Chain A
Amino acid sequence: MKLKLATVALGAVMAAAPAMADLVVPNLSYRTGPYGANGTQYADGFNDYFTLLNERDGGIGGEKVRTPECETAYNTEKGVECYEATKGDGALVYNPLSTGITYQLIPKVSVDQKVLYTPGYGRTSAKNGKVFEWIFNAPANYWDGASVAIKYLLDQNGGDLNGKKIALVYHNSAYGKEPIRTLQDLSAKHGFTLTELPVDPPGQEQKSQWLQIRRDKPDYVIMWGWGVMNQAAIQEAANIRFPMENFIGVWWSGSEVDVLPVGAAAHGYKSLTFNGVGTDYPLYDDMQKYVVEPGKASQGGQFVGSSLYSRGMYAAVVIAEAIRKAQELAGTAQITAPQLRDGFEALDITPERLAEIGLPDFGPEIKMSCDNHGGSGMARLQQWDAEAKKWSLITEFTAPDQEVLDPLIVEDSEAYAKEAGISPRC
């Protein structure tokens, strides 16, 4: 029976292999499982931007972009399967939208020479391009996020957090644990006390954590959540009447699906973000004309302009710009993954360039180099308006506290280099 299955599967795979052509950017997405509600919007935005480029400009530099999609369900084993299934197809860059899958892929892409672009997630110390040659995590990483959140709280308190209590509610996984080290260092620097409250994934059950918050009465709660955990946490915060304006989520805890189920009680909830939201950008005119109206939008374009859709689109914008840069450097339209890596390292998305694309002030300036794969790390805050049912940006882009972050990044990436036997480049 084993043999029979194997033959059938072999036939299916062989018949399925499409012809090599175009620029291939696989979309390892998830539209099912406890994180599906979030993953599906991101994947739509990612697909739609490339569809727009194909429809409006005929691709990038005359080459069409193909985004074969593969469902990972946020599961690392399926992620590996998807990576193996797509990598032989001329894939240039991966964006798996999962820190767990990213950790799996970091060693693999380094051997297979594929670019791994993990905007706002993944391994923070991958910012150090000397060690992580193939990984890019601009515009911001988790430690940037933690630092920007604390900076915002400093601003709110006149620059002094001494004696304040801050609780971190986090997804008990590699993703949620990432900011702890930074927050610990920041708490030592600024004198606030940090309480760590892990929530076991997927995170529907958080009664005990919020009971503890009600007892401890922290001044602020910071959340590193994803998927169904976000709405559960915001609901629990509303249940214990925790003041929403003192509750700050990371950018992955700041989408419409997280706050809408809680209704009016979610009013005032804040989250970090590194991209704009809403459809008030000139690009959306083209999006409407070339993608949504002709019916070419991913899933019919029902999420256009949402927070996660915008972030998926932003990831596609950065990848498209890197491809453009790589084509420029290589002098050929049909680039390879190593050429794309050079394109990423030479990437410079200025505010002017963003305006040219039709997304003025949509994201921070991104400038990368051989040793800096993480950009500036700037992020801003948005706040939920439950009556208007929309996010509004409440701060400008803020730079993180690199004085604290840089030594941490060097330490962590050097530990990895030692473990994996990598000698630093650049």
Chain B
Amino acid sequence: MFYREAGDFKTSYRDDGQTFPIRLDRWGYYAVLAVAFLVVPFVIDSYWANAVLVPFLIYAIAAIGLNILTGYAGQVSLGTGGFMAVGAYAVYKLMTAFPGVPIVIHIVLAGAITAVVGMLFGLPSLRIKGFYLAVATLAAQFFLVWLFNKVPWFYNYSASGQINAPERTILGWAVTGPATSASAKYLVCLVFAVVLAWVARNLTRGSVGRKWMAIRDMDIAAEIIGVNPLTAKLSAFAVSSFFVGIAGALLFAVYLGAAEASEAFGINKSFLILFMVIIGGLGSIFGSFAGAAFLVLLPVLLKNVLVAQFGWPTDLAAHIELMIVGALIVFFLIVEPHGLARLWALTKEKLRLWPFPH
């Protein structure tokens, strides 16, 4: 009734193949983009930027990256935290070595460096699959974090091994460093998130994405029909790591401003992003955003409700928060093992027929 597609005719293949074929969806998408770009930057304050929206966008980028590798290409990875660290340390080395170059270029370059590192650690995927590959990527996680702790060159020989993001500007607006305004932080992350999500969507529905999915569904069959597993798997690792590297660079430079490898990019981060992908939905761009929203926004929301609203002690609230988030994860995975994205798709199906289901 409310959500209908009657009268929404397609007269060309191009129309039929678009990302949002239903008019209502398309309008919703444009409306969200318009609000995100035209309204939010003017009303955002530093709490909303630093505690809610910036982490959400950055984790969404990382989740899209892992989703390409795990959801689309079927290669399980536990090295996401390590690859984020590569992005963070790459952008740090670049921004301190070449202060004159615009920071956006550094962030993209950091992504490219991470892509190379990701391909390197993706090589074992040509021989091993499943749990064994997960263990190989786990090795990448531990090796990379150890490397950034061990070699002082990566942190410019600072006494404590911390890296600090100096101030860098875009068109005169500070986007890294302490003087960054909330809206600048938010806009930088938003632009990266939107552009990368758009790239990911178009990669995954094109021939590259179809090759990934063929490898995921059955690699031998894919090889027989002419998909080269070497290029398909390595390109999945490269693109995925590129996204994850950009997320790591933004996490360090824009969001945190200071980081150390073992604390900010430990194994917990790898699991967090893997959970985002699983809860959001494997093989879905929307799912990456939904998963990131679930795991970033829900704890903040629960904390605000339990502590500020109900006045509970902070430790009790922190424990209850873990329990609620954990219970919700179990609940969602029982109700819909394919994640929030599938739940959303089912809701839309139901809404199309409502109130007259078959």
Contacts and interface: CB of A to CB of B under 8 A. Distances in A.
Interface in A172-197: 172-175, 177-178, 180-181
Contact of B160 (A32, A69, A99): A99
B309 interface: yes
Interface string A320-336: 00000000000000000
Given A76-B264, A108-B257, A111-B179, A2 B304 contact: no
Interface in B135-161: 149, 158-161
Given A81-B51, A174-B161, A29 B314 contact: yes
A73 B308 CA distance: 18
A123 interface: yes
Contact of B55 (A5, A69, A77, A180): A77
Given A13-B304, A71-B318, A421-B166, 10 more contacts: A9-B300, A31-B315, A31-B318, A75-B263, A76-B258, A107-B164, A111-B179, A177-B160, A200-B262, A420-B166
A5 B319 contact: no
B46 A84 contact: yes
B173 to A, nearest CB: 15
A419 interface: yes
Contacts, number: 144
Interface residues of B, number: 53
Contact count band on A? 35 or more
A110 interface: yes
Label chain A's interface by main secondary structure: helix
Interface string B277-307: 0000000000001100100011011011101
Interface string B28-68: 00001001000000000111001110011000000000000
A103 B301 CA distance: 26
Contact of B297 (A9, A71, A103, A200): A9
Interface in B107-143: none
- Ranked nearest first, the 9 interchain pairs of A and B with the lowest CB-CB distance are A16-B308, A31-B315, A107-B178, A174-B160, A71-B314, A81-B51, A111-B178, A84-B47, A12-B304
A351 interface: no
Given A9-B304, A419-B166, A36 B256 contact: no
A268 interface: no
B293 A107 contact: no
Please classify the interface of chain B as helix (H, G, I), strand (E, B), loop, or mixed, using the class held by over half of its residues: helix
A16 B309 contact: yes
Contacts of B159: 124-125, 177-178, 180-181, 412
Given A84-B51, A181-B159, A9 B301 contact: yes
Contacts of A3: 32, 35
A12 B309 contact: yes
B315 A2 contact: no
22 contacts: A1-B293, A2-B56, A5-B298, A12-B309, A13-B304, A16-B304, A32-B319, A69-B314, A75-B263, A80-B50, A84-B51, A88-B45, A88-B47, A107-B177, A107-B257, A111-B178, A111-B179, A172-B149, A174-B161, A174-B162, A177-B160, A181-B159
Given A5-B293, A5-B298, A31-B315, A80 B160 contact: no
B317 interface: yes
A75 B264 CA distance: 8
A100 interface: yes
B47 A85 contact: yes
A390 B46 CA distance: 46
B88 interface: no
A70 B77 CA distance: 34
A201 interface: yes
Interface string A1-31: 1110110110011011000000000000101
B344 interface: yes
A152 B347 CA distance: 70
Contacts of B232: none
Interface in A88-116: 88, 99-100, 103-104, 106-108, 110-111
Nearest to A2: B293
Contact of A70 (B260, B298, B314): B314
A40 interface: yes
A15 B318 CA distance: 20
B259 interface: yes
A77 B256 contact: yes
A127 to B, nearest CB: 13
A218 interface: no
A180 B150 CA distance: 13
